[in-house]
Amino acid sequence: MSSQELADFLRRRREDLRPEDVQAETTLPPSRRARRTPGLRREEVAALAQVSVSYYERLEQARAPRPSPQVLSALATALQLTDAERDHLARLAGQVLPAENDGTPEHVPEDAQQLLGRLDGIPAYIVNDRQDIVAWNAAAAALITDFSRLTPDERNLTRISTRFRGTLCTGAPGSESEFSQQVAAQLRAASVLYPTDKVLAELINEFATHDPDFASSWRNHAVRPIPGVRKRLHHPTLGELEIDRHTLSLPGSGFSLVMYTAEVGSPSAAALKSL
């Protein structure tokens, strides 16, 4: 169990939740103290989860013993966690065992390879939990770059995005921040699943140093997925394109499928077909 990470996650989710967000406000214990900071108080979360205040305080101080699945479920409900956040909480508390191997999987399942090949005319590639691009189709290479010319270290989604930011690809308002949040969420989940992956740890440090949005999302334990991001792409022959980036998790594999599409009937859609 990562006690310090668990404590930090609980504290940040508690601070994100306002009293008016809690549906059963009548269950909050009365207090004469004025609120000086945003979020619920520790005793309020303890009351909602029906655990002792002292135990919850020790959880946020990284001094409590491992919480039971029942306590974790109660805390998740009290803090109104999403499914992704519940899963993250369980992993931090040691309720989900880390992967047996030291690093993210490298072998792409055959059915995933077949799916990629059937996406005729739709730029798509497959990434592992580390966000390494491990397979791609011809349309993706034509749209973004010839991945075969990159070294395995360069063939990382975030490194490619950083390399082309401001030249090949720019974001719609807010999209670059959303992309950084998405990557932070994906790498945060991977770091808990593969705690001994040194390459992954180096990537996280690298991205946190160069990307303030990533660093902020990482500190805030942002694990809620952002499945779609709209981007503007400046292609050398097709000109400016407005496309949507979709990320679909491939269950049980450790891989995700990333696809690029455009609004039906738009000039960008027509341009994508020409690839």
Residue 45: CB atoms within 10 A of its CB come to: 27
Identify the pLDDT of residue 250: 83
Identify the pLDDT of residue 98: 55
pLDDT along the chain (275 residues), means of 10: 85 88 61 70 92 94 89 92 86 70 67 86 90 91 90 86 55 61 83 83 87 86 74 84 87 84 92 86
How far apart, in Å, are the Cα atoms of 36 and each of 33, 39, 41, 79, 87? 9, 10, 10, 20, 31
CB 130 within 8 A of CB 260: no
Interacting residues of 7 by C-beta distance below 8 A, sequence separation 6+ = 59, 60, 61, 62
Residue position matching structure tokens 């009937």: 265
Q: What is the C-alpha to C-alpha distance for residues 125 and 197, in angstroms, rounded to an integer? A: 23
Identify the pLDDT of residue 192: 78
What is the rounded radius of gyration, in angstroms, for the C-alpha atoms of the chain? Answer: 21
207 CB-contact burial (10 Å; exposed 0-12 / middle 13-18 / buried 19+): buried
CB 64 within 8 A of CB 58: yes
Domains and CATH numbers, the chain: 3-92 (1.10.260.40), 110-273 (3.30.450.180)
CB 46 within 8 A of CB 53: yes
The C-alpha angle 102, 106, 112, rounded to 5 degrees, equals 135
Identify the pLDDT of residue 174: 47
Identify the pLDDT of residue 170: 47
Measure CA 117 to chain center: 26
Identify the pLDDT of residue 99: 53
Using the CB atoms, write b or e for 56-89: b if 16+ within 10 Å.
Answer: beebbeeebeebeeebbbbbbebbebeeebbbbb
Can you state the angle between helices 83-92 and 175-193, rounded to 10 degrees? 40
**With the CA atoms of 195, 200, 206 and 209 taken in that order, what torsion angle do they form, in degrees rounded to the nearest 10?**
-30
**With the CA atoms of 162, 189, 130 and 101 taken in that order, what torsion angle do they form, in degrees rounded to the nearest 10?**
160
Q: What is the C-alpha to C-alpha distance for residues 248 and 182, in angstroms, rounded to an integer? A: 12
The CA-based diameter of the chain, rounded to the nearest angstrom, is: 67
H-helix or E-strand spanning residue 271: helix 267-273
Identify the pLDDT of residue 72: 92
**With the CA atoms of 139, 141, 143 and 145 taken in that order, what torsion angle do they form, in degrees rounded to the nearest 10?**
180
Backbone phi, psi, residue 200, to 5°: -60, -45
Identify the pLDDT of residue 144: 87
Identify the pLDDT of residue 58: 94
